[in-house]
Amino acid sequence: MIPGLENLLPACELPDFQSALLRFSDRCMRLRIDRALDRIPFDTECVPWYRGGYWIVDPNVRPGGELSFAVADYYIQDAASLLPLRLLDVQPEDRICDLCASPGGKATAIAEQLGAEGVLIANEAIQSRMDVLRHNLARTGRANYATCRSDPELLELRCTNLFNKILVDVPCSGQTLVGPGKHDESAFRPQHIEHCSLRARRIIGSAARMLTPGGILVMSTCTFAVEENESQIEWLHQEFPGIWKPIIIPELSRWQSPVREGCYRLWPHRDRCRGGFAAALRKIGETDRAVGLDSLHENEVRDHRTARKGTGHSASRKKDSPLDMELWLKELGTWPIGYHVRGQSANVEEPGIERFLEMFGDRKLFQSSMVAVLAGKHLEPTHALAMANATWFVPHRELLLTDADATAFMTGQSLGKGATGVASRSETSTGSWARGVWQDKPIGWLKESSNRWNNHLPAWARMTINVSPTGRGLA
């Protein structure tokens, strides 16, 4: 079925592999690391290659229907997608580009692990995939990222030698996705594999040039073909000779590829996942182009930070705007690191991403965390602002929701003024907007009317909530 498979697996395992390939894998989730969670709604088992990854024991559990998921306590993703995150080894002050980021499973993990001085550029070249990426990043509560919709070759021209870590989950034939029905058997055709391999090399080459010397490049796929995996690493060594050193992680030796060191493979019949590939390389020399924003002398802009702590900061706001967005933002809450008002929207940027974007001057290439928009004649807060953590936004008004209230809210219902468990955290607050909170975690915006709280949860975020959560613990 897969050319060269006999060089990767013992012959006795091939029947088990082919059978497992057509089945759904065990469901898995990644816990949000910035929350101290000692209880989740179902029993779990640890994923051995990633701290914070857990398999869900009961196959009948629907993890996407829990209130814990609504407040972003965890992200649902296949266990194989956690392997490249382990290789990336995110540190708080890293400057990272996730080059093919949608739908955001890896990007959200990176954002959660980065500190306020860290930078995440989450790039996705396909317009139709941008919304889901931005929506998932909004759930992190962070403002240390910016999204970008650019072809990797064009992004490379602006960002050569700029990132110390790059994750490139390259488009591939998708052989691991045949079982769930997301790909068909054409994924195994040699012509399709070759096409995907050539396309991927263009993207990987751009990633190599965007990486600063000493930085780490992590490449991953959801396919088994050597041509799309180990052969791509060999191509990198040939295309950029003498500048790559494989990163060997002893704890992952169990999953070491038999073809090339520094490459790791997961298998559906062995590892309770769909399967996948990941490799990590350290760049120890220069690529063939060394232009880009390093020439702007980053040390000159390192301390170029607008003095706006505790206040708003306006840039290019229309003076004849019918509504004063800055005044309205101050009525919503307090802003420890401030905000930017630009035209008909407002954005928040943690210090690292703010300095990064200041280097470019022209911000059209990137979109940071949008917190408010002017919709017609009305100002509205975004879901990203609803999910914000307290380091950059503290609302003046919160409603404490019971399980029943939160369940009704997540299904799109408005809440009555006399609803049980609905109470303001601040009795002296003003304004009609309030953030809903369940178990001290933000869940979304409500707007007060004469007799109820109107639901402002975006349609894409609404869910059908499971009845009677079990509240079981971690493995």
Strand-pairing partners, residue 54, are 29, 46
Fold exhibited by the domain 397-461: Nuclear Transport Factor 2; Chain: A, (3.10.450)
What does the pLDDT read at residue 316? 41
CB-CB contact of 443 with 406 (8 Å) = yes
Question: Quick one: 471 exposed, middle or buried, by C-beta within 10 A (0-12, 13-18, 19+)?
Answer: exposed
What does the pLDDT read at residue 39? 72
Cα separation, 333 vs 397, in Å, equals 8
Cα separation, 93 vs 142, in Å, equals 14
CB-CB contact of 398 with 436 (8 Å) = yes
Catalytic choice (28, 159, 222, 263): 222
CB-CB contact of 399 with 151 (8 Å) = no
Residue among 169, 45, 164 at smallest CA distance from 98? 169
CB-CB contact of 409 with 455 (8 Å) = yes
Tell me whether strands 44-46 and 163-169 are parallel, antiparallel or unpaired: unpaired
What does the pLDDT read at residue 289? 53
Q: Average pLDDT of each block of 10 consecutive residues along the chain (475 residues)?
A: 80 93 92 79 93 94 93 96 98 98 97 97 96 95 97 93 96 86 77 94 96 97 96 96 96 96 96 97 79 38 35 43 78 95 92 92 86 89 96 95 94 84 60 92 94 93 76 51
In the structure, how many helices (H) and strands (E) does the chain have?
13, 24
What does the pLDDT read at residue 320? 38
Place of tokens 């995440």: 120
Cα separation, 64 vs 463, in Å, equals 8
- From residue 367, how far is each of 137, 185, 305, 342, 345 by CA, in Å? 12, 38, 18, 12, 11
CB-CB contact of 32 with 49 (8 Å) = no
Per-domain boundaries in the chain: 5-16+79-283, 297-386, 397-461
**Dihedrals φ, ψ of 280, to 5°?**
-130, 135
- From residue 80, how far is each of 38, 174, 210, 248, 275 by CA, in Å? 24, 13, 26, 18, 6
CATH 3.40.50.1220 fits 5-16+79-283, yes or no: no
What does the pLDDT read at residue 182? 65
Cα separation, 306 vs 117, in Å, equals 15
The per-residue b/e assignment along 307-321, b for 16 or more CB within 10 angstroms, e otherwise, is eeeeebbeeebeeee
- From residue 94, how far is each of 89, 114, 237, 415 by CA, in Å? 10, 7, 25, 42
Active site residue 222: yes
What does the pLDDT read at residue 378? 86
Cα separation, 63 vs 86, in Å, equals 23
Residue among 256, 249, 238, 171 at smallest CA distance from 216? 249
- From residue 187, how far is each of 2, 194, 268, 269, 318 by CA, in Å? 10, 11, 16, 19, 52
Sign of CA dihedral 63, 66, 69, 74: negative
